[in-house]
A and B are shown apart, each in its own frame.
Chain A
Amino acid sequence: MASLTETRADTTGIVADEPPGVRRRAPYRTLAPARRSIAIVVLLLVWELLPRLSFVDATFLPPFSDVAVAWYDLLRSGELAEHTQASLVRSLAGFGLAIVVAIPLGLVIGWYRPVAELLNPVLELFRNTAALALLPVFVLILGLGETSKISIILYACTWPILLNTINGVKTVDPLLIKSARSMGLGALRLFQKVILPASVPAIFTGIRLAGAYSILVLVAAEMVGAKAGLGYLINHSQFNFAVPDMYAGIVTISVLGLLFNQLLLRLEGRFSTWRL
């Protein structure tokens, strides 16, 4: 039974091939979270000490503990929740709409080569135009309300998703297509069973990038004509010289961005387990 011995040889081969470092030493694993937070702790310490030791003017950079207190007050008064909610609604609306628009569009553009060739110059032009450069245009056309804010986020989020989707479809291994065609698959089923699943990792990369953009652009959008939102909070606090509040807003938005990115990373990992 040649087959049996070979199978066994294969099995041991896999064990030997396992990437080194999969089984890490126990102390290394338990200390990992601590090691990762060292830099953050140092950063916060420096932030606390620089103003306290008068290396910088505490008026413009209050110590971290003051900012934390301001943050806690904002939280208790419910202001923080209100601003965060306003921001999240805008971000998620723009982000969600971008997903709905950009994925199908990207699939079509990537699949039909003539469409891609036709649209490519325009795509290149737009993706190299900073979204924020267009903010005044959006405000002019759509006014100061929610529409322009969500639209600018939608716009900024569309590009990474669109371009990654197009790229994902274009770079599907031709051998997989050939193999599927050899089994008699027509264009539609080829698309559904090969192109689409093969593009999922690339699409998710685009979605993750868009997630980051949705928070980045949000702040700028909220600095113009908003009555709520974290961007508004930051801008408004600066105007009224409530400097600790301003920093509280900044910290909140970076933590929000971080959490959003982590969530999307997890999701990406779940959908791309097969990718090495």
Chain B
Amino acid sequence: MIRIEGVGKVFDVRGESFTALQDIDLEIRTGEFLAVVGPSGCGKSTLLDLLGGLSEPTSGRILLDGVPVTGPGLDRGVVFQQYALFPWRTAVANVEFGLEGKNLSKRERRERARHHLSLVGLSGFEDRYPHELSGGMRQRVAIARSLAFDPDVLLMDEPYAALDAQTRESLQDELLRIWERTGKTVVFITHGIEEAIYLGERVAVMTSRPGRIKHVVPVSLGRRTEGEVRAAPEFGRYRRELASLLRDEVERARIQELREVASVG
């Protein structure tokens, strides 16, 4: 279980302080799939960085199974929007990267990496370099890399934002399949409402800057990997609900941005 308690994050940008997150309170059950949506620049990624231990909160704390997060670790795996694969390593060597920190023999590492590549449908692509793979395949490698070291929590930062619609949908289905099989806790950040409804058991909506949790919407769509969920009437209802929650925030974020542009120009 992840507990986010009164978390705030303030950055110093050229002498000016800049509040990215404020008073975030959230509980994420073990094995839960939580989607987080919010307008651009609302601090979604900052929140994920805090969960990953890549930066520290200015106030409040984050507990992972009761233990405060003090830094990164292999109990959490992060998947980035831009894949972040090591271009000098082949697909299988990329997946092995996180395993090199564990006490495994070379052969075990290779085997586990191959297994996880096959889990994301990339058998036969083990020896390709990232630049020889399409965007969707690169993101699969990145997901396999995070799964391979068997973290309890998967932190995904708009992982499918750079992909085309077909690839995105098939990767969404695949992620649900993997999530159901492995029972990992997933925190999935996105700016797509439909993606959030389709994937999340709950969808947390964030406000524009400073980012706070505006509302958490529980989603029940039955077994999501079956049938045309996106066409169901409930799906439309959730979409309208979330859209209206987000509309004000997006508008406010836009005005904020315009004001900043004006003050700079």
Contact = CB atoms under 8 A, between A and B. Distances in A.
A30 interface: no
Contact of B121 (A7, A176, A182): A7
Interface string B62-80: 0000000001111011101
Interface string A262-276: 000000000001111
A184 B134 contact: no
A6 B87 contact: no
Contact of A175 (B73, B80, B97, B121): B80
Contacts of A14: 132-134
B157 to A, nearest CB: 10
A117 interface: no
B72 A183 contact: yes
Interface stretch (A134-142, A193-201, A231-239): A193-201
B198 interface: no
Contact of A183 (B74, B89, B166): B74
Given A4-B121, A6-B136, A183-B149, A275 B87 contact: yes
B166 A184 contact: no
Interface stretch (B17-25, B167-175, B201-209, B244-252): B167-175
A185 B101 contact: yes
A62 to B, nearest CB: 51
A22 to B, nearest CB: 13
Interface in B171-216: 171, 173-174
A197 B88 contact: yes
A275 B174 CA distance: 30
Nearest to B53: A182
A3 B174 contact: yes
Interface in B137-166: 137, 149, 166
Contact of A194 (B76, B86, B133): B86
B57 to A, nearest CB: 17
Interface string A162-200: 000000000001011011111111000100011001101
B73 A179 contact: no
Contacts of A178: 54, 80, 84
B52 interface: yes
B86 A176 contact: yes
B28 interface: no
Q: Which of A2, A193, A197 has the most CB of B within 10 A?
A: A2
A189 B71 CA distance: 16
A3 B98 CA distance: 24
| B-side interface size class | 35 or more
Interface in A88-120: none
Nearest to B138: A10
A150 to B, nearest CB: 34
Given A6-B136, A13-B134, A182-B78, A200 B88 contact: yes
Interface in B83-132: 84, 86-89, 97-98, 100-101, 120-122, 129-132
A6 B121 contact: yes
Contacts of B98: 183
A185 B84 CA distance: 15
A5 interface: yes
B136 A182 contact: no
A175 B82 contact: yes
A122 interface: no
A274 B174 contact: no
A245 to B, nearest CB: 48
Contact of B78 (A4, A7, A173, A179): A179
Interface string B14-40: 000000000000000000000000000
Given A175-B82, A176-B86, A194-B86, 19 more contacts: A3-B170, A4-B121, A5-B170, A6-B121, A7-B122, A7-B137, A10-B136, A10-B167, A17-B134, A175-B80, A182-B53, A182-B72, A182-B78, A183-B74, A184-B71, A193-B97, A198-B88, A274-B89, A274-B130
